[in-house]
Amino acid sequence: MSPSFTTFALRLVAALRAWQDPLHGPALAYFAGDLRRHGGDELRLRAALVRDHLLQQGFGYPAETLELEAADRVDLLLYAPGPERRPVALIETKRSGFGDLLTTRQASGETPPEQLARYARLRGLYLGALTNGVQWYFFDLATSLQPCAALNLLDLALLLEGITSEEGAAAALAGRPDLANALVVAQALLGAEKWQAVAHYQQELRDAAQFHAQPLVHEAQRTGLLNQIRERLALLRDTILALFVLLERDLATFEALAAHVSASDPRPYAPLLAAQIDLVTQAVPDVAQRTALRTALHEICLEFAQQGDTDWFYSAYALRAIVLQIKNPTKPPGRRRP
């Protein structure tokens, strides 16, 4: 039976607290303040904290199921427990002071999620995580480059300070549904017990005798089977509910930010866009052409908001201007007209 998400939370916190840096001391002190002071600590965090503590003590993977720095440059490759040594997920680690794990462009031009997805494709995998040791993002790359859940272990450790029981952890996490839901999703995606359960069911399916066994005529036989089914369905239900809660929160955040120019610019987006379109089209002398171009720019901006392709935006603008027979159209701000 898989442990509850509260047990999982306590295991993660215990694993984090068990790690100490030789110079800066315990994990909570190491990850406090400006993390850039640690410089290039990626290799140390990958081997000592992530592999030896968090993945083994927290996520429950035996040491032999973790491959450090695989031949294809994967930082950490996770195998399902068992003799088959089947790869199931990968972890991409960054230094503690790396910056934003989701959006920072690296020397290769990729963001970390794009790098993770490339490694996953090469391996034929779809599950993975990004981490700087304390901040974790969990991905189902078969569906999206957006993380399914984000979990900050420092926040979790501070929340569960002094708590050792499941009941105490459940009470504390009840006030932090963001952490609780992230734990449920993280455990469902990468918990080692998941692969043990999968191996058990696969073994039963491969056993031909299972299909010729005595019918489930006794109450005890039926109860045992039903309990297994209920357990798996309950875990699936909890995971789906947690995913929807996190998606709803992210959607609410997006809708709030979408009304403004940017996260750092609180000006309303819609009137500013209308003013910029008027500015771009005001030099067109013909009223009908000006109105048509204004409408075209609105349509292009709406589509650009969905796809985010800057090259397409400027090309589409130039093409619509040609179709409308507008000579030397004013370029939109931000880039020269192609």
User: What is the per-residue DSSP string for 107-160?
Assistant: TTS--HHHHHHHHHHHHT--EEEEESSSEEEEEETTT-SS-SEEEEHHHHHHHT
Higher-pLDDT residue of 1, 132: 132
For residue 2, the model assigns a pLDDT of 61
pLDDT at 86 over 80: yes
pLDDT at 335 over 50: no
- Threshold 0.85, pTM exceeds: no
- In tens, the pLDDT along 158-200 reads 999 999 999 999 999 999 999 999 999 999 899 998 887 777 6
For residue 305, the model assigns a pLDDT of 76
User: What is the per-residue DSSP string for 210-238?
Assistant: GGGSPPS-SHHHHHHHHHHHHHHHHHHHH
For residue 327, the model assigns a pLDDT of 64
For residue 137, the model assigns a pLDDT of 97
pLDDT at 125 over 80: yes
For residue 336, the model assigns a pLDDT of 40
Q: What is the mean pLDDT of the chain?
A: 84
- In tens, the pLDDT along 195-228 reads 877 776 666 666 666 555 556 566 666 566 567 6
Q: In the numeric block, which tokens belong to residue 185?
A: 């999703």
Higher-pLDDT residue of 2, 299: 299
Q: How confident is the model at residue 320 (pLDDT cuts 50, 70, 90)?
A: confident
DSSP 45: I
For residue 292, the model assigns a pLDDT of 87
Q: Which of 80-89, 197-206, 229-238 has the lowest mean pLDDT?
A: 197-206
pLDDT at 325 over 90: no
Residue tagged 């592999």 (tokens): 51
pLDDT at 338 over 50: no
Higher-pLDDT residue of 88, 227: 88
